């Protein structure tokens, strides 16, 4: 079994968001895939199995557990399939646990098409502040999956927060996107914390745009936006909202490949 390390959402090595990708004929037992992901110890490892021409089933594992959908591991998987000439057309379709998604090869970029997820504003500031490090919260939103969205007043507050990951884990706020309003350069900023999988802060996150982009799109009355993820690696995103979908185009680069001993 070969496994590839890919840096997604970047054209430069050792930047963007890294993932492991393994293209396989049959899925190994779940405990073996979990053990491989734990051994590789990146935020996500993707296992990809061909269904029929240009269509694949995909499974995602963190070092701790299987998850239903991951943006950067999807992009990384598409990159490996295209790079190894395993796709006959310009679109690869993935069947994931949560959603079916597609990735199109456009010159040196990949355009990912993901669903929009629901969100609703909640009155939960006291609970939020008692279970996290976050203060002076403006608004809180719950989502149709396991994320909370916390809106702060300024970019300075966003950059300077210091998470208490131990306190967050197991609370109502174990997966949190913290975001703030736009300025002259970007429409919105965010940081992403994923304590249920012990990722803590994810450097580059695509899947959160399934609810974050429509939230800010509604606030700003925009379909096309630029955002910035304020992590150690940093990431600028250009996003387009379509009917019931969100689209983003970016690059990926293979770092190396290894053989996994069975």
Residue ranges and CATH numbers for the domains of the chain are: 2-115+248-259 (3.10.310.10), 119-243 (3.10.310.10)
Considering the entire predicted model, what is its pTM?
0.80
Average pLDDT of the chain to the nearest whole number: 91
Sign of CA dihedral 163, 167, 169, 175: negative
The yes-or-no verdict on residue 6 having pLDDT over 90 is yes
pLDDT value, residue 262: 62
Measure the CA dihedral 64/67/71/76, to 10°: 60
For 172-194, the pLDDT digits (tens) are 898 999 999 888 889 999 999 98
Tokens of 157: 């507050």
Mean pLDDT of 189-209: 86
For 106-147, the pLDDT digits (tens) are 888 999 888 899 999 999 988 888 877 788 889 999 998 889
Report how far apart, in Å, the C-alpha atoms of 4 and of each of 23, 77, 79, 99, 118 are. Answer: 9, 9, 10, 24, 34
High-pLDDT (> 70) share of the chain, %: 99
Report H helices in the chain.
Answer: 30-40, 71-83, 125-131, 155-160, 165-168, 209-220
pLDDT value, residue 37: 95
For 46-100, the pLDDT digits (tens) are 999 999 999 999 999 999 999 988 989 999 999 999 999 999 999 999 999 988 8
The catalytic position among 25, 44, 64, 99 is 44
Q: Is 44 a catalytic residue?
A: yes
């Amino acid at each position: 079994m070969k496994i590839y390390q890919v840096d997604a959402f970047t054209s430069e090595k050792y930047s963007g968001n890294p993932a492991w990708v393994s293209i396989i004929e049959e899925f190994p037992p779940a405990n073996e895939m979990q053990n491989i992901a734990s051994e590789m110890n990146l935020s996500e490892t993707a296992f990809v199995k061909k269904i029929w021409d240009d269509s694949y089933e995909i499974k995602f594992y963190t070092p701790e557990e299987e998850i239903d959908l991951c943006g950067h591991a999807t992009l990384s998987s598409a990159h490996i399939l295209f790079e190894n000439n395993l796709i006959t057309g310009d679109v690869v379709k993935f069947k994931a646990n949560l959603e079916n998604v597609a990735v199109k090869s456009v010159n040196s970029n990949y355009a990912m098409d993901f669903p929009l997820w629901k969100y609703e504003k909640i009155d939960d500031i006291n609970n939020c502040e008692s279970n996290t490090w976050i203060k002076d919260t403006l608004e809180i939103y719950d989502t149709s999956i396991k994320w909370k969205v916390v809106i702060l007043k300024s970019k300075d507050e966003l950059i300077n927060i210091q998470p208490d990951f131990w306190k967050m884990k197991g609370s109502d706020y174990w997966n949190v996107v913290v975001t703030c309003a736009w300025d002259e350069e970007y429409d919105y900023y965010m940081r992403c914390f994923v304590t249920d999988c012990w990722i803590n802060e994810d450097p580059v996150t695509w899947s959160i745009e399934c609810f974050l982009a429509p939230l800010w799109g509604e606030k700003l009355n925009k379909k096309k936006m630029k955002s910035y993820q304020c992590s150690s690696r940093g990431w600028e995103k250009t996003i387009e909202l379509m009917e019931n979908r969100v689209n983003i185009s970016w690059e990926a680069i293979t770092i190396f490949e290894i053989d996994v001993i069975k």
